[in-house]
Amino acid sequence: MSNQSLSGAEQPDVREQPGFDGPPLARTALDRAAYHRQDADWLAEAWKTGAVLVIDIAKGGRALVTGVAEGKPALVLVGADTAPEGERLFLGVDPAGVPVFAVDAPLPEVDGAEPRTLRDIGDRLSSRDAGIFTTAAALGNWHVSHPYSPRSGQPTTVAEAGWSRVDGDGGQLWPRTDPAMIVLVHDGVPGPEGRCLLGHNVAWPQKDDIRRFSCLAGYVEPGESAEASVVREVREEVGIVLRSLRYEGSQSWPYPGSLMLGFTAEADRDQPIVVDPEEIDEARWFTRADVTAMIAGDYTDPASGVRMSLPMRSSIAFYLVERWLSGFAPRDRR
């Protein structure tokens, strides 16, 4: 099979279907077909006719992509005959019935393709490719971080077509996903006068003299609901008390293995902002005009002269900001 025939460039895109209104990486057209994971004979035959995503976890989870310059990126998948050596991770079956695998290895040279991460192009991929790339990145990151059993200390090996690891005594580990909340706090005011609260994390570098602002986020703690986590994190990070809360959607964020639970929340913007200096070094209320300019790359803080931006479009943070900006209308299906 040629790279072109496996690229997914002609796969149907669920973003164009009525009713899609979710975060970019919540999309998938991949059937995980979990019932095949322990069927060694089926997996061996599927590998021969399947498509393989080569992903380089050591270099940030990069994979080869075509069509970036044209604004229509598509993953490059290879056949088993040209796939590199490595553990075979079975991802599922695509809408055309093709079994899809991933192999963590250095990227091969493919004419017309360039290495990209899910952060770079996740929002522009088809639903098929978004599901493949997100699953491969999350599963690959988990395998790299679990070479030993935390219970026995023994080395572990891949089992169940990549969906578990086993130590020498037969003890099994399964992929871990860490639940995290992310919330766009706003004042509930419609139209141009409405404002949202964004913060700058102390760990974020100021790149190219641009200061990035985003929604508030944090991990859900043991024994805590996602809703309680939102209330706690907002109070801890910026000292703001919320008056209402609304769940908006979720998406995987495989850096290294989170499930982001997205919310919007209303708060009185006259409350004083008191940042936790270990987490947030600046937080402020932005108008819709400010946010529109930030998306366009044309917002400069009038006080400091520093340019400010938002997170990448593949993030659920951008999705939440975009929904607020449009007054919570259905998401534009591009």
- The one-digit pLDDT tens for each residue of the chain (334 residues) are 333 334 443 444 444 443 457 899 998 999 999 999 999 999 999 999 999 999 999 999 999 999 999 999 999 999 999 999 999 999 999 999 999 999 999 999 999 999 999 999 999 999 999 999 999 999 999 999 999 999 999 999 999 999 999 999 999 999 999 999 999 999 999 999 999 999 999 999 888 789 999 999 999 999 999 999 999 999 999 999 999 999 999 999 999 999 999 999 999 999 999 999 999 999 999 999 999 999 999 999 988 899 999 999 999 999 999 999 988 644 433 3
Statement to judge: residues 185 and 238 lie in one domain = yes
Statement to judge: residues 109 and 195 lie in one domain = no
Statement to judge: residues 190 and 288 lie in one domain = yes
Q: Does residue 155 lie in a domain region?
A: no
Number of domains in the chain: 2
Which pair of tokens denotes residue 287? 């108008």
Statement to judge: residues 10 and 112 lie in one domain = yes
Strand duo 178-186 + 216-219: pairing: antiparallel
Tell me which residue range forms the domain holding 79.
Answer: 3-145
Report CA 145 to chain centroid distance, whole Å. 18
DSSP letter assigned to residue 137:
H
Statement to judge: residues 17 and 138 lie in one domain = yes
In this structure, the number of other CB atoms found within 10 A of the CB of residue 153 comes to 8
Q: Does residue 191 lie in a domain region?
A: yes
Number of residues written out for the chain:
334
- Which residue, of 120, 145, 170, is where some domain finishes? 145
The answer to whether the CB of 63 falls within 8 A of the CB of 2 is no
**For residue 8, what pLDDT is reported?**
41
Q: Which of 286, 291, 179 minimizes the C-alpha distance to 233? A: 179
Q: Does residue 300 lie in a domain region?
A: yes
The answer to whether the CB of 248 falls within 8 A of the CB of 20 is no
Phi–psi pair at 157, nearest 5 degrees: -125, 160
Which pTM does this prediction carry? 0.89
HSE-up of residue 306 (Cα within 13 Å, Cβ side): 13
Q: Does residue 169 lie in a domain region?
A: no
CA distance 54 to 197: 39
Statement to judge: residues 318 and 191 lie in one domain = yes
Q: Does residue 164 lie in a domain region?
A: no
Statement to judge: residues 220 and 81 lie in one domain = no
DSSP letter assigned to residue 47:
H
Most distant pair of Cα atoms in the chain: their distance: 66
CA distance 302 to 315: 27
Sequence-separated contacts (24+) of 69-74 with Cβ below 8 Å: 71/124, 72/9, 72/124, 73/116, 73/121, 73/124, 73/125, 73/129, 74/7, 74/8, 74/9, 74/125, 74/126, 74/129
The answer to whether the CB of 196 falls within 8 A of the CB of 321 is yes
Statement to judge: residues 103 and 31 lie in one domain = yes
HSE-up of residue 80 (Cα within 13 Å, Cβ side): 16
Task: Extract the runs of DSSP E, i.e. beta strands, from the chain.
Answer: 51-56, 62-66, 74-75, 78-79, 89-93, 99-104, 114-116, 157-159, 164-166, 172-173, 178-186, 195-201, 210-212, 216-219, 242-253, 258-267, 280-287, 307-309
Residue 210's DSSP bridge partners are 207, 307
Statement to judge: residues 240 and 135 lie in one domain = no
Q: Does residue 307 lie in a domain region?
A: yes
Q: Does residue 240 lie in a domain region?
A: yes
**For residue 128, what pLDDT is reported?**
95
- Which residue, of 145, 165, 200, is where some domain finishes? 145
Which pair of tokens denotes residue 283? 């937080």
Q: Does residue 154 lie in a domain region?
A: no
Statement to judge: residues 65 and 198 lie in one domain = no
CATH number at residue 226: 3.90.79.10
Phi–psi pair at 91, nearest 5 degrees: -90, -35
Statement to judge: residues 98 and 221 lie in one domain = no
∠ Cα 197 200 201 (to 5°): 125
Residue 265's DSSP bridge partners are 185, 245
Tokens 């917002």 sit at which residue?
Answer: 299
**For residue 209, what pLDDT is reported?**
84
Statement to judge: residues 213 and 297 lie in one domain = yes
Report CA 176 to chain centroid distance, whole Å. 15
**For residue 207, what pLDDT is reported?**
80
The answer to whether the CB of 218 falls within 8 A of the CB of 180 is yes
